[in-house]
Structures are given as structure tokens and as C-alpha cells.
Amino acid sequence: MEIQARIDELRRTLNEHNYNYYVLDNPTISDYEYDHLLRELEDLEAAHPELITPDSPTQRVGGQALTAFRQVVHRVPLQSLQDVFSPEELADFGRRVEESARRVEYLLEPKVDGLSVALEYQDGVFVRGATRGDGQVGEDVTENIRTIRSIPMRLEGADGTLIVRGEVYMPRKTFERLNEERELNGENLFANPRNAAAGSLRQLDPKIAAARGLDMVLFNIQYTDHPPFATDSASLDWLKSLRFKVIDYQVSSDMWEIQRSVFQLGDDREQYPFDIDGAVVKVNSLSDRAVLGETSKFPKWAAAYKYPPERKESVVKDIVVQVGRTGVLTPKAVVSPVRLAGTTVTNATLHNQDYITEKDIRIGDTVIVQKAGEIIPEIVSVVKEKRPEGTEPYRLPAVCPVCGAPVVRDEDGAHIRCTGAECPAQLLRNLTHFASRDAMDIEGLGPAAVKALVEAGLVRTPADLYHLDRDAVAQLDRMGKKSADNLLAAIEKSKQNDLSKLLFAFGIRQVGQRAGQDLAAHFGTLDALAAASAEELTAIPDVGSVTAQYLTDWFASPQSRHLIAALKEAGVNMESHAQPVGDKLAGITFVLTGELSTYSRKEAGDRLAALGAKVSGSVSKKTGCVIAGEAAGSKLRKAQELGIPVLDEDQFLTLIGEKEGDEEAILALIGKPET
């Protein structure tokens, strides 16, 4: 069959390119060419779904998100290794081994700081991936494993059952990129690559896992129907021939040489794309392993040497303050160069003012610097007996070192933030938020496009978006004339947005969507809101004194006034489209569930809010009414259990005045309080 032959050819070609790119790190075609081949295969499979197979490159990202992970009982337990922490303990391990086996050959490999996972293949086809769990029982993460491009979905020459074990990790470069994106989106940052990998592999939605860029390296065969191997190194070579990414290893019969290599590996750990927290030393001969046996917890033929956190003295030459993309001021110590974990350290994080104060770190101090599993070294303690005379306690500046705007401390944390609306350090974050769907809703202006505009020098404040040159935008990478036209049209359209969206787009602290809607509806214009006193602001329900202070401070800032003037000049709407807020539903909390045919859930919530109601996302005893559309689920069941009134879509439309019906009866049903 001609179509089947073309599909088979495309799969072979794409798998070859995946291997070259993700395992060998040697791409042989451009991303553009690869995407075209993949698109052709997707189109053929869409037209002939009966020809889709689980090992097709198109099946890397699976179907629907899961609600929970199934448990998996491991056919062969995934054991842990006994840790050793000193050269003496490592030498003792060697002596115990050599008492039981002669002419021992050792295999040394880096210990990847990731998540241990077992992969199962049947007749060469990948069928399941499971986490280690407690070694006996793990979790089925098959769909997320499929998203890891370096893992082959089909093997040639591996009939029967094959179960292999490896470590899933997030490459350091990927980790840095992910944290940059999370910072732009105002999300919490991952502490280190291992935490990021763990969180990614346990995503119930495989599409999220796919976007995280995980990788995996193998280090063991758990079970195979292949004829037995004589050595571990031979089994690893066989796995490499099957096109797996396999851990680097060294073989030696000299324990002293192995020890030297362990310490050299620690010095060279920065050369790997993944974090390593130790070195694994194993007996290479599988027959010797059988003789040595195992305890109830660990095999006797292997040990994991754990690198201690290196600590060395250095001197604080200076303290500099960086302003992050969310406006957070982060102090950093400039220290005299010191060698730690294979790299020369010249900077150490100081986290925040509380950290500096607690440890009493001052410029000129001799300090103990540590690098242990984190990307940036930190100061552990101060050697106070070496403190020079005349040093002063350090305090973070009262104004932003980048733009000069005042700084404020989080009311619920240790962070200190810049308040500048046009602070250059926050430009990427501010623009990304300004263009987001719930703010100005500029389609096509995501983080990548924002970054391209900023790097090209086309945008320095949000107001610059409304003066972009079409030809300049079209020349940006991956843009072109058509995309430039679409982007400029979306920017032009955003000028007509309601004032509430503009207020949210400003990113004023504690002014979210709902507050923006309430403020816009109450004051009607931005000028009226800007002129409001704290007393007038707190008169609005749900606007407290803290939010009122944030608002008055923001509008008083010269940067804010400059931004507002520039947006006005560009023609951005500064008025509310909302009708005067009614009070027909005041005092009632509504919850929406299921799908309505007339409105989206957000639009329906806005209509209820315009009549004075509160809209919540969860059902509780305080809920006054639930609006249930098609396919309503657990919220409807909970409402019925609690005896909360439930309205269907027709009753909802009657309630908001858009359909004929007995409105009084519906109001009586939901227990509208007398006014």
C-alpha cells in the first residue's frame, strides 16, 4: 500500500532525526524541515487513523490529561544504593568486595541528580514508564515519558520483554530557560533542576510535561529476555546500540584509580548537562554480583559516593543589587574568587534583607561560601573574628537602583519590590502581563514576541506598542509581513478595551480582574479614579486600606503619570463600558458550573457581578446559588448535597433580564435578602 509505505518511511526518517538531535546532539536537518516532515505524517495519519501506531513520532504527546496516576508494581525492584561519604568508606567498600571476589573490575559512573524511572518494552515497542516510588511500587507516567524525545518508542533487535532503568532530569540550560519564563509569567521559580524535573514528570497533563524539555539517561537493565551479559559495561554498550542515551562510564580493576576518578569527576561535574550529586561505583562482573548478593536494603556490589557540599573562605568585596523581571530587588555578594565544585565562584546569593540581617553580612567580611546542589553559591556564615574595624550593617536601598522609583516590602513576605511602572528591569514582565488575555488581550503578543520586540529596541514601555512600525516588526525572527499585520491589528483593537482591562494590565499590586471591574464601574474614567482619595477608594466593597494605598501610590508615581499620558496620546480608551452597577443580586454568592450555550463562564459571571452578585469558583455553605449548564459535575453534586438552590440556563437568563419568565419566583427560590 503506497500510503502505508510513505507513513513507514516518514516514521523511520523522523526517528533517525530524533536520535541524531536528542541523543547524539548532532542535528542533520533544520527545525523547519523536520516540522514539515512531521506535519506530512500527521496529515496522513489524520486521513487514515487506522494506520496510527503507539510508537509513531506523532504520539509523543498523548491525549487527555489524567485525573490521577495509576500504581505500578515493579517486576524487578528498583533498589537504592548504600551511600558512602568519605575516601575511607569508599576504600572499605572495595576491601569488602575483594574479600569475596578475585580480580574485581569496577565500573564508575556519575550519579545523576534526577528521578529514577523504569521503562518497559514489549517486542521492541515502548509500553510503559513508571517512577521508582518506594522501589517496589511506583506511578505510571507513560504518557509523560513519551514526551521525552531522546527515549526511543521502538527498538530494533530487542524482542521479548526489556525493562531498563535510568534517570529523568532537566538539563541546566532548560532549567534556566524555564525559570525565565516562569518569572515573566509571575509564577514561583523552581529551586533547582531536580525539583523542576520532578514537578514536570508528575504533571497530569502530558502537554505540560512536553513543554518542559525533560531528558533521560539509562544506567541499568532491570530485566531482559536477551541472552545474559557477562558484565554491566557490555549491557550498557548493548543499550547504546539500541539507540538509548546511556550514562558515561569508566572501567578499572584498580580501586585507587577508581577513587582518583571519583574525585576528578567531582571537579569536572560542570561539564555535564545535568546536575550530579555523587559517583556510583559498581562491580562490573554480573557473576561476581551474584556471589556478593545484597542486604534487605542495598546490593553489596555497589556504593554511591556522595559529594559533600564544598565550603571555603572568601571575602565580601561588595554587595550589588539586581532588579528582577517582577521588580524584586535581589542582593548579591561579590566575593574574592574561590574554587567550588569544579568552578570558580565570584558571586554568592544573599536572598533578601532578612537573610543579610540574620547572618549580619557586611562588606569586607570573611565568609564561608557553599555550593551544594544549587545553581548559585550562597554564604553560610560570617567569620566574625576576622571582621575588619569600621564595617557597617548593610541595608537594601530605599529606591530602585535601575529606575529610581520607591521600593516597597511585600506585606506577606521578605521580598522588596520596585514600584516603577516603566522600570527597564521589569520591561519583559510588564509587557507580557500588559498583553495577556485577561489584561489588554493582544493576540500574538506572547513572551517570545515580547522578547523579540524588546531585544530589537522597538519597545521600551507599553505605550510604545501603539507606535510600532510594520516593516520593522515584519523583519523580526519568525514574524513576516502577515504575522506583523495580524499583531498590529490586535494591538489596534486593544485600544477599545474597557477601562477594567487597562487597570488590570497596569499590574498595580492587589488590583486583579475583579478589583479592576469594580473600580472601573464605580469611577467610570481613569482620571476620576486617579483623583480619588484613599477614603473614596475604601468605600468600594472589597477594596481595603492596603489596596487603596497601593492605588494612590501608583497614580502618584511620575512613571505612572508618564505612561498614562502616553497611552492617552496613542488613543487607548480610558473609560468604562459597564452599565451602572445594580443591586438586585447584592448579598448573594453564585457559582457557575458546566457549559452555557449563550455565555462563557466568565461572561456569565460578569453579568451577575453587574447586578451586585459575588461570583465564586467553589461551592460552600456560604454559596447562595449554583448556575448549572451542560455537563455540570462535582460542583452541582455538592450543591445538591448542601441543599443549595440550582438554576438552569433558562432561569439564569430570566434572572439577568434576558428572557421572559417568573423572575420573582426565581428570586424567592434563591432567597434574595430584603433590601
The residue ranges of DSSP E strands in 295-411, in sequence order, are 302-306, 310-323, 329-340, 343-349, 366-371, 378-382, 407-409
Rounded CA separation 41/35 (Å):
10
**Helix, strand or coil for residue 542?**
coil
Rounded CA separation 418/151 (Å):
44
In the set 111, 282, 371, 501, the catalytic residue is 111
Cell numbers at residue 556, please?
A: 502618584
| Number of residues written out for the chain | 675
The DSSP bridge pattern shows strands 589-593 and 614-616 to be: parallel
Are 194 and 169 spatial neighbours (Cβ–Cβ below 8 Å)? yes
Give exposure, 312-344, as e/b (b: 16+ Cβ within 10 Å): eebbbeebebebbbbbbbbbbbebeebebbeee
Neighbours of 224 (CB within 10 A): 18
What are 64-71's contacts with CB under 8 Å, separation 24+? 65/204, 65/205, 65/206, 65/207, 66/143, 66/204, 66/205, 67/204, 68/204, 69/139, 69/140, 69/141, 69/202, 69/204, 70/139, 70/140, 71/133, 71/137, 71/138, 71/139, 71/140
Rounded CA separation 427/326 (Å):
9
Rounded CA separation 624/638 (Å):
13
CA quadruple 662, 668, 674, 675: dihedral sign: negative
Name the strands in the sheet holding 646-647, side by side, starting at the edge strand that comes first in the sequence.
614-616, 589-593, 625-628, 646-647
Rounded CA separation 515/500 (Å):
8
**Helix, strand or coil for residue 168?**
strand
Rounded CA separation 470/484 (Å):
6
- Cα separation values, 294 from 154, 167, 450, Å: 33, 22, 57
**Helix, strand or coil for residue 95?**
helix
CA–chain centroid gap for 278, Å, is 26
Rounded CA separation 471/265 (Å):
52
| Amino acid at residue number 469 | D
The DSSP bridge pattern shows strands 250-252 and 106-112 to be: antiparallel
With residue 169 as reference, give the H or E element that holds it.
Answer: strand 161-169
Helix, strand, coil abundance in the chain, percent, nearest 5: 40, 20, 40
Query: Where are the alpha helices (H) located in 611-648, listed in sequence order?
Result: 634-642
Q: Is 317 tagged catalytic?
A: no
Are 424 and 431 spatial neighbours (Cβ–Cβ below 8 Å)? no
Q: Which residues are catalytic?
A: 111
